[in-house]
Amino acid sequence: MMVNNISQHQTIHYRMGKVFLRLLSCIAIVGVAAMLRVWPLQNLELRIPYVTFYPAVMIVAIYYGVWFGMLTTILSALTIFYWSPVVNKAFIVDAGDWLGMAVFLVNCGMISLVAEGMIRARKRARIAQRQAEAANQAKSVFLSTMSHELRTPLNAILGFSNLMRNDPNITAEQHDNLDIINRSGEHLLTLINDVLDMSKIEAGRVVLENKPCDIERLADSIVDMLEVRAHEKGLQLLLEKHPHLPRFIICDPGKLRQIITNLVGNAIKYTLEGGVVLRLDVKTKGRDLNLIIEVEDSGIGISKTDQLHVFEPFVQVGKTATQKGTGLGLAIVREYAILMGGNITVDSELGKGSLFRAIIPIQVTDAVPEELLENMPSKDVITLEAGQDDYRVLIVEDQLENQLLLQKLLKDAGFTVVIAENGAEGVKLFQSFQPHFIWMDRRMPVMDGLDATQHIRAMPGGDKVKIVAVTASAFSEQRDEMLAVGMDDFVRKPYHPAEIFDCMARLLNVRFTYKQHETANTAGVHILTKEAIALLPDSLRQALINSLILGDSQQLTELLHEIHLQDENLAKILTQQFENFNYLPVLNILESVDKNYPQDSH
């Protein structure tokens, strides 16, 4: 109680001191105005007596508000009224002078009121800014919480359905049911990611992560992924890459992948017959190099009215009742394109299909992307290779289903696994179990993953163990926060088993046996190059050109047999291209190699 009384007295003294200082300021400013009116403006004599007092009132009112502005007005009026003894002349003589005084008082009152409005507007702006910052912070907390709460159960659903699909003892019907579960889970994950991505954009939490990217490999992987969906609808999905398209570029690969995936996926969604074409090209504008992404479809088209709103969030064109999704795909594409320094446009006619064109600034590089350098296997892990140490792994995770999923993956691969249900228990088990590797959940009760990591790093042997976060966070920039406390890397939920094993292979140098041994050194297997085409005989190249133009599939099959005898790998690449009806990219390369291609054989 005594402390409160002291605090109240201090507050009162502070406010009284503040008012007293402002009062002295008003008197001093009026005095300065009077001195300026006497000198150097003495030549005005009795004319315009208020010329220096208007600025005095304005200054006080702007900084101190309406009441001190009115006080300064009164002090100025009294100074003018009692001016005679100072200058030996009376300013207020007749009715006209009294009218001038009245006008001065009214004007200064209005100035004070306007200044008070400005002060209150500034206060409201500061309050609104603080509220906006608090709202953004609340949104970030909401995103982090929702990301964790939604991704965590999805991780278990997708993980266990994948494990069961790989069980050789299940029936065909059970496998089909698991496929449905898995596809539904992936679809739900896509919807969640769209909503979270749009929320991150609105919260200003999206940043660019520019690095080397294999644009050809990226485009091929997207087409391979979406080809199944296209074929299910009886559509052709074609990829056309310009012969001069550079292979390695500098950009944000994740956002570029999402732009292309969303555009192609959207085209497949709204196309009922015909097909979808993805074209990649580069254009030079001055010193700048732009990647041109075109996605053209033979779908339902977009009306001129809908084109004005197609890039807005939650907008779906056509009959929305029959459409799936959130309506966020194209909105995210536009925001990412703008973030990367580019733009996107649409050209469409109702009933005749659409053409989306995205222009993204890029840089060409000779640097090879990390995923190609790592040379990691990408097939399913069977077990650890023989002759290695008995690796101990600690899982620190509070969700039972995620504990069981990760434990099963690791135990089946041959690791010795122990589970801790929170960070504090994880710290204790580290001392007794001495693991080689720790999978650390970030959000847990009692002690979270960040604090647990710091405690472990401070213990004997804590500097040697590998610690990787398993997080459902929606913010990739939180990786810096995790690395700062001593974590070696992070994997985002829901994860694929390959991500778990690839991470452990990279950090522990462990070796696995796989169902199919296939390394990432496949740069020349799936990519058609001019060099490979140039090695074919002239007659064979010209026969290929003619057959492609005529669409003679029987002749192409015979030519592929001839090519197989000379270059088995090239024959496989061409077979894949022809099976997917990717005639134009092959024709473009053939024409760029063979400059003597006859335009008319007659």
Q: Taking all residues of the chain, what is their mean pLDDT, rounded to a whole number?
A: 81
- Does 561 score more than 50 pLDDT? yes
Identify the pLDDT of residue 598.
43
Average pLDDT over residues 66-76: 90
Query: 584 or 186, which is more confident?
Result: 186
Per-residue model confidence (pLDDT) at position 148: 64
What pLDDT, on the 0 to 100 scale, is given for residue 548? 77
Question: Residue 583 has what pLDDT?
Answer: 65
State the fold for domain 375-514: Rossmann fold (3.40.50)
Q: Tens of pLDDT along 433-487?
A: 999 999 999 888 899 999 999 999 999 999 999 999 988 765 556 677 888 899 9
DSSP 43: G
Lowest mean pLDDT among 37-46, 316-325, 408-417, 588-597: 316-325
472 vs 181: CA distance, rounded Å? 21
What is the structure's pLDDT at 416?
A: 95
Closest by CA to 76, choosing from 47, 109, 45, is 109
* Torsion (CA) 410, 411, 415, 420 in degrees, nearest 10: 80
Query: Average of pLDDT values for 219-245?
Result: 86
- Asked if residue 494 has a cis previous peptide bond (ω within 30° of 0), the answer is yes
Rg (CA), the chain: 37
Q: What is the pLDDT of residue 305?
A: 86
**What number of residues does the chain have?**
602
| Among 98-102, 282-286, 587-591, the least confident range | 587-591
523's tokens: 């740069």
pLDDT beyond 60 at 372: no
**pLDDT band for position 394 (cuts 50, 70, 90):** very high
Residue 492 in 3-state DSSP? strand
SS3 content of the chain, % helix, strand, coil (to 5): 55, 15, 30
Task: Find the range with the poorest average confidence among 200-204, 321-325, 465-469, 474-478.
Answer: 321-325
Q: Mean of the pLDDT values across residues 517-540?
A: 62
Whether the Cβ atoms of residue 533 and residue 545 lie closer than 8 Å to each other: no
Query: pLDDT above 70 covers what percent of the chain?
Result: 80
Provide DSSP, 344-392.
EEEEE-TTS-EEEEEEEEEEE--PPPHHHHH----S-EEEEPTT----E
AA letter at 539: S
Question: Worst-scoring range by mean pLDDT, 29-33, 139-143, 304-308, 556-560?
Answer: 139-143
CA 304 – CA 316 distance, rounded (Å): 14
Question: 193 or 424, which is more confident?
Answer: 424
Q: How confident is the model at residue 527 (pLDDT cuts 50, 70, 90)?
A: low
Average pLDDT over residues 81-108: 75
- Round to whole Å and give the CA distance between 16 and 71: 17
Stretch among 120-124, 214-218, 495-499 having the lowest mean pLDDT: 495-499
pLDDT, position 128: 87
Whether the Cβ atoms of residue 154 and residue 207 lie closer than 8 Å to each other? no
Per-residue confidence (pLDDT) for residue 496, from 0 to 100? 81
Least reliable range by pLDDT among 109-118, 178-187, 306-315, 408-417:
178-187
User: What are 564-577's pLDDT values in tens digits?
Assistant: 888 888 888 888 76
Q: Please state, in angstroms and rounded to a whole number, the distance separating the CA atoms of residues 299 and 268.
A: 8
pLDDT tens string 328-351: 788 889 989 999 999 999 999 888
Residue 11: partners with Cβ closer than 8 Å, 6 or more residues away: none
pLDDT computed for residue 346 by the predictor: 94
Q: What are the DSSP calls for 315-332, one per residue?
A: ---S-GGG--S-S-HHHH
Q: Is the pLDDT of residue 520 over 50?
A: no
CB 46 within 8 A of CB 87: no
Task: Look at residue 189 in the predicted model and tell me its pLDDT.
Answer: 75
Q: How far is CA 35 from the centre of its chain?
A: 62
Q: What is the dihedral of CA 320, 315, 253, 267, to 10 degrees?
A: 40
pLDDT value for 535 = 85
Is residue 377 a contact partner of residue 514, using CB atoms and an 8 Å limit? Answer: yes
Give 139's pLDDT tier (boundaries 50, 70, 90).
low
The upper half-sphere exposure of residue 586, i.e. CA atoms within 13 Å in the direction of its Cβ, equals: 27
Measured CA to CA, the distance from residue 296 to residue 435 in angstroms comes to 53
Does the structural domain 211-370 have CATH classification 1.10.645.10? Answer: no
Stretch 150-169: mean pLDDT: 78
Residue extents of the structural domains in the chain = 20-132, 141-202, 211-370, 375-514, 530-593
Give the separation between CA 304 and CA 310, rounded to whole angstroms. 10
Cβ-in-10-Å burial (0-12, 13-18, 19+) of 53 comes to: buried
- In Å, the largest CA–CA distance within the chain is 120
pLDDT in tens, 95-125: 877 888 888 899 999 999 999 999 999 889 8
Confidence of residue 373 (pLDDT cuts 50, 70, 90): very low
For tokens 């907008």, name the residue.
315
> Residue 341: what pLDDT?
92
Residue 518: band (very low, low, confident or very high) from pLDDT cuts 50, 70, 90: very low
